[in-house]
């Protein structure tokens, strides 16, 4: 199994990839560049759409178009390049906080975590869109990531990247209630003084995806790998990635056996970019176990 770069183009901070089964296209965002991209993977052609602020995450909608978490709220676009209609305003201070990792859940509700940019205290959280309001689900985080659901929709996962921890909860799909919080997986923290090229650090959990067997795939930022965990949180594999900073995986293709991963080159050192010249590219690799299909937002 080897990675292939989807296109030669490097993106600053690729995130929130998903495979659109109806369009047969891969979508993702570039957060600091304020763009949404989509690629015809068979032709290698990429379309780009500029946003008015940072798109933290996106999800497809059942009736067409996208749901987009921008800095100041959750927006609906009925078609590619179309008007952005605000569904709900952000509850956070947009001067210090923006939306980050987000997805639609198995019932069609949109969830989005936030990121507290000064990173000096745990002021970020996780919200769920309920009509035209955002319901606070979790807090006490700094950089929300790793949102995912198990194949039976009975478990929800969420990570706070700086704590190197992914947590899990029992999840009730009908009510969206989260109970029985526990640590799913925790990795050692970043050693003091660690810099690129040093040993002793395996990265921290960024975005995630789940396969049909319930295994959780965590992109390990600064770890140059994707960590595959069993439903019990046991590490099954460490999949090397040709970039030091993978950001989020997803599954795609007709059989959902293509693993995609976005990566970052934003604010990375010259030494790192020399060692990993394809940093910022989107990569793909064939795998044996299919992933779960993307969840669509229900209007």
Annotated catalytic residue 152: no
Q: Identify any residues that bridge with 178 across adjacent strands, giving them in sequence order.
A: 171
Ramachandran sector of residue 203 (left: φ over 0; alpha: ψ -120 to 50; beta: rest): left
| DSSP calls for 213-238 | T--EEEEEETTTEEEEE-TTS-EEEE
Displacement of CA 10 from its chain's centroid (Å): 18
Displacement of CA 235 from its chain's centroid (Å): 20
Tokens of 100: 């980050």
| DSSP calls for 17-36 | EEEETTTTEEEEEETTTTEE
At residue 275, φ and ψ (nearest 5 deg) are: -75, -35
Tokens of 259: 């693993």
At residue 128, φ and ψ (nearest 5 deg) are: -125, 135
One of 101, 105, 160, 206 is an active-site residue; which one? 206
Give the C-alpha distances (Å, rounded to integers) separating 60 from 46, 64, 65, 69.
Answer: 17, 7, 6, 12
Can you tell me the distance from the alpha carbon of 161 to that of 248, in angstroms, rounded to the nearest whole number? 12
Catalytic residue list? 206
């Amino acid at each position: 199994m080897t990675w292939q770069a989807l296109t030669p183009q490097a993106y600053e901070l690729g995130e929130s990839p998903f495979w659109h089964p109806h369009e047969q296209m891969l979508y993702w965002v570039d957060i600091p560049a304020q763009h949404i991209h989509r690629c015809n993977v068979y032709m290698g052609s990429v379309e780009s759409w500029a946003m008015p602020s940072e798109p933290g995450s996106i999800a497809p909608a059942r009736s067409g178009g996208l749901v987009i978490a921008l800095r100041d709220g959750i927006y609906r676009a009925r078609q590619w390049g179309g008007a952005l209609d605000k569904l709900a305003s952000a509850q956070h201070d947009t001067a210090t906080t923006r939306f980050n990792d987000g997805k639609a859940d198995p019932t069609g509700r949109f969830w989005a975590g936030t990121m507290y940019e000064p990173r000096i205290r745990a002021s970020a959280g996780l919200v769920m869109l309920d009509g035209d309001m955002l319901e606070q689900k979790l807090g006490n985080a700094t950089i929300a990531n790793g949102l995912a659901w198990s194949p039976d929709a009975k478990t929800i996962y969420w990570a706070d990247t700086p704590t190197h921890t992914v947590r899990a909860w029992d999840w009730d799909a009908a009510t969206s209630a989260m109970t029985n919080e526990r640590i799913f997986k925790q990795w050692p923290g970043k050693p003091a003084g660690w810099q690129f090229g040093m040993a002793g650090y395996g990265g921290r959990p960024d975005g995630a995806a789940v396969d049909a067997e319930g295994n959780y795939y965590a992109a390990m930022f600064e770890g140059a790998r994707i960590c595959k965990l069993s439903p019990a949180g046991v590490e099954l594999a460490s999949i090397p990635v040709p970039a030091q900073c993978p950001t989020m995986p997803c599954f795609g293709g007709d059989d959902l056996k293509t693993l995609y991963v976005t990566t970052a080159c934003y604010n990375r050192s010259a030494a790192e970019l020399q060692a990993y010249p394809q940093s910022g590219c989107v990569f793909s690799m064939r795998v044996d176990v299919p992933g779960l299909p993307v969840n669509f937002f229900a209007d």
